[in-house]
């Protein structure tokens, strides 16, 4: 799986958009970009994923650059409950056990009043 | 909504005890995983199972075993707990292939 680089930490004011960047310059053509988050002492929570088109769901938007070497997760109106570590993962899914997830250190997002 | 549940949120055991951690998913997923998460080491795969009674070793299987007698249930067993197995244990499931992995809430195990 391709390696990702994320900032260690970010701050965001409540109600504002949180834009979390991720670099994945070695991504290959069949690798997806996944985002998870982990609130303190809880299991990771799936947020969104994409291959090359931008994606949006009820939680967030994912913007992938045309060359696919980087992406941005956007939380449009951050709340205090969005404070968590956000993980960007690129992976190629295969049948069976090859689809394990590898989490890096992620970005600690702190949403403040 | 996919639901993955784990038998305990917090567990305290003594060195040498046999420990069972259970995971249940309600979405008929084929694949199930056990990870442990430690500060600075990220998520590490212990074992996974892609079908009933099938299991494969992950990256750090030593000291652990697993059981999958029913599709919805995947158990992690610490045959003789040791202090270096103090960790957060996370179970996940997925339908397979490129499908999203869904995690349980985690079990924080302390071995004294």
Identify the CA nearest to A23 among candidates A1, A35, A37, A6. Answer: A6
**Are the beta carbons of B30 and B71 closer than 8 angstroms?**
yes
User: Looking at beta carbons, which residues of chain B come within 8 Å of A34?
Assistant: 100
Three state DSSP letters for B65-76 = EEEEEECCEEEE
Alpha-carbon torsion (B54, B84, B92, B45), positive or negative: negative
pLDDT tens-place string over residues B46-70: 999 988 989 999 989 999 999 999 9
Look at A41 and B4 and tell me if their CB atoms are within 8 Å: no
pLDDT tens-place string over residues A55-77: 999 999 999 999 999 999 999 99
Look at B56 and A97 and tell me if their CB atoms are within 8 Å: yes
**Are the beta carbons of B29 and B95 closer than 8 angstroms?**
yes
Cα A83 from Cα A12, distance rounded (Å)? 9
Is the pLDDT confidence value at A29 over 90? no
**Are the beta carbons of B49 and B68 closer than 8 angstroms?**
yes
User: Looking at beta carbons, which residues of chain A come within 8 Å of B49?
Assistant: 97
Q: Which helix (H) or strand (E) holds A31?
A: none
User: Would you state the pLDDT for residue A97?
Assistant: 46
State the average pLDDT over residues B78-95. Answer: 95
The segment with the largest mean pLDDT, out of A4-18, A19-33, B38-52, is A4-18
User: Would you state the pLDDT for residue B98?
Assistant: 58
User: Would you state the pLDDT for residue A21?
Assistant: 97
Which of B91, B101, B109, B110 to mutate to test binding with chain A, by most A CBs within 10 Å of its CB?
B101
B74 inside 8 A of chain A by CB: no
The whole-angstrom distance between A21's CA and the closest CA on chain B is: 19
């Amino acid at each position: 799986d391709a390696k990702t680089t994320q900032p260690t930490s970010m701050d965001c004011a409540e109600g504002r958009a949180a834009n979390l960047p991720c670099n994945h310059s070695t991504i290959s053509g069949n690798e997806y970009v996944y985002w998870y988050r982990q609130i303190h002492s809880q299991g990771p929570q799936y947020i969104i994923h994409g291959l090359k088109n931008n994606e949006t769901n009820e939680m967030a938007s994912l913007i992938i650059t045309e060359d696919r070497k980087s992406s941005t997760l956007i939380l449009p109106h951050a709340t205090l409950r969005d404070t968590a570590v956000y993980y960007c993962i690129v992976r190629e899914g295969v049948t069976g056990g090859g689809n394990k997830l590898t989490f890096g250190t992620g970005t600690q997002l702190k949403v403040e009043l | 909504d996919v639901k993955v549940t784990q038998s305990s949120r917090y567990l305290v055991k003594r060195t040498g005890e046999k420990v069972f951690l259970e995971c249940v998913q309600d979405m008929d997923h084929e694949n199930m995983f056990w990870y442990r998460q430690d500060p600075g080491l990220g998520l590490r795969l212990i074992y996974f199972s892609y079908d009933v009674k099938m299991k494969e070793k992950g990256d750090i299987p030593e000291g652990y075993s697993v059981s999958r007698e029913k599709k919805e249930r995947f158990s992690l067993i610490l045959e003789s707990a040791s202090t270096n197995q103090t960790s957060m244990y996370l179970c996940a499931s997925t339908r397979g292939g490129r499908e999203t992995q869904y995690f349980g809430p985690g079990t924080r195990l302390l071995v004294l």
